[in-house]
Structure 1
Amino acid sequence: MTQHLIPPAGHDDFNALSLQDQIQIALAVADETSLKSLLVDCVPPITALHRIRNLKTTVSVPLASGTIGSFSGQSAAPSIDGILQFEEAYCTLIASAEELKQGIADYTQQYGNDRGYLDLTRCESEMHTLGQSLPLSQALARLTHSGFSPRQIQAILHLPQDGWFQSWWYAVDAAGEFTVPFLRVLRTLHYPDGTVTIQYKDFFAQQKPDCYMSQSRQVMVLLKNDRSFSETLTRINLARQQLGIDRVILVGSHLSELEAKAYINQGVSLYMTRSLSLPTPANCCHCVNSDCPWHGRSDSPVILCRRFCFEGVEE
C-alpha cells in the first residue's frame, strides 16, 4: 500500500509530533488526493476512486465519556481521530450521443441484448421528486450539479407542463463500474410564485437505479497505537454504536498478518503507513489459476487469496 497521508522524512517539525497528531493534522489539512487515498488504498478498499464525490473531514470527534476512556485507562475525554464524509456515486450522466452509442453497443455485446433500446427501457420506475418548490436559482444549481449543460438546463426549466426531457445515464454494474445505460426522463412543474418542482422517472433493463446520483457515506478513521487487538476492537465497536457509522479505516505503521486478517474479518479496513504483508485482493474473473473452483466466476465470495495472479502474469 502506498503512503499518502504522512509527509516524507525531513519534515522535522511534523515528525516531532506523535503519530496521532500527525494523522489528525493530515486529515484536517489534506487535499483531495490524500483523502481519496484513505478510501481507496486501504484493504479492503471502501470504494473506487471514480465513485467518490464531495469529500469532507471532521477531526478528533468526541465520544460519550465513561465508556472507551474508562476501558482503556485514559484520563482524557474519549474520541476517534476523524470522520470522512463523501458522496458515493451510483449514476452518471452520459455526456454525448457518441458515448451513448458506444455504451449501448458494449452493453448489447456483454449481455446478448439484441433489441438495443427496447430491452434497455422495458422496466419503469415510480415517479421521484428531485426538488420540491425550488427557486429557479436552486433548480439551476441542482441541474448543474447533475452534469447537464447550460442548453439542457434551459430546456428542462422551460418545458411545458406536459413535456418531458429525455436523458441517458450509466448505472454501476456488479463491479462498481459505470457500464449499464438507462433512460431518465424529467419534467418541470411551474407555480405562480415562480418556484418549480422537478420530477423524474427511470426506464431500465433489469436493476432499478439505487438513487438519483449518489448517496452520503461516512467512514471513521482511527489510529492503531499501542492498544491490544481486544482494546482496539472494543474501541471501534463502541464508536460504531455511539456514532452509527459501520465502516472504519484503521491507520497504523505495522500489523502482524494474523492481526490484519482478524481486523478485516470484523469489517475494518486497514491503511498502513508502512508496507503490509497481506494476500492480494482477488478478482476471480481475472485470475490465471484455472485449477481453482472459483476461477472465472463473477459471483465469487473470495476477497483475499494467496494464489491470486492477474492474467498475463506468471507466478
Structure 2
Amino acid sequence: MSSAPGLALELQTLSARHPAARRGAAPALRGLGLRVAAGEQLAVIGPSGAGKTTLLQAAAAALPPSAGALRIDGLDPWALPRRGLQRLRGRLVLAPQVPPLPPRQRVVTAVLAGRLPALGLWASLASLVWPHDIPAAWQALERFDLGDKLFERVDRLSGGERQRVGLARVLLAPAGLWLVDEPLSALDPSRAVQALHTLCGAAREQGATLVASLHQVDLALAHFPRIVGLRDGALVFDLPAAEVTPERLQRLYARHEHELQATPPVDDVPPDGPRPVVMHCR
C-alpha cells in the first residue's frame, strides 16, 4: 500500500459557505476551531445540515474560508502559489459520499486512480490504457471483500460496492491526510462495520491522519477515539469517545430548542419506562 507521513490539521475560527449556497446565505461553518495531530483519527457527527461536508471540503483546501484560517502541516494553503497549492492537495485525499467513478471504467483503473497525484502526466495517461500495478489494486479491493470485482465495469456494481471501491482507492492514495465523507451510507450494517474497521486499520498502518464524517453514531463511538459534534455549523463538543454521553447526543440531535427543555435527562427516566432514542440519526 502507499504511505505518506501523517499531516496535522488546524482550523482557526474558520467560517465557510457551502459551494451551492445562495449569495448572502449564512455560513455553513461559523468560527470553528479545531486541531488534529498528525496520525490522529476522529469522527465528525451531527444532524443533517450541521456543516460536516463543508468542514471536510474546507480541510481539503477545496473551499476557501470566508473568515479565519486553515493550516495543513503548518502551511496556509491559500497563501501558497498555485503550484504549491497543487502539491499540498496531492498530499491529502478527499473521498466524497458518492465516489466519482466513471460508469464504463474498470474497477482496477478506478482504484489505481488514487495514485495519480504521484504519477507524471505520461504515466497517468498510460495507466488509463493499461493499469500499472494490478496486484496493489487487488490487495486494496480484497480488504473490502471486492477482489473478485477487479476487472468488472463500475456500472455493473451495486451502490455499496461502488462505495467500497471508493474506499479502496483511498488506501492507495499517496496521502498523509484522509478526509472521508459518509463512507457507510450505502452499506448494510455488517459491511459498514467491516469497512470502518478496514479504513481505520489501514490509516493506522500507514500513519495517516483520518477525519471521517458519520451518521452512524454507534460506529463512530466504537471505532474512533475522538468525536467532534457539529450543529448549525458550530462546535458543540470535542471529546474522547468515552465522554460522549447519551445526554450529549440527545442535545446534539434535538430538532428544536423546546425539545431540549421538554426531554428529561437520561438518568431521570424511570427504569421500566421507555428510554429516549438518542442515536437514530441516519
TM-score w.r.t. length of structure 2: 0.26
More helix by share: 2
Structure showing greater radius of gyration is 1
Comparing both structures, which one devotes a greater share of its residues to strand? 1
Larger RCO of the pair (alpha carbons < 8 Å, separation 6+): 2
If the length of structure 1 is used for normalisation, what is the TM-score? 0.24
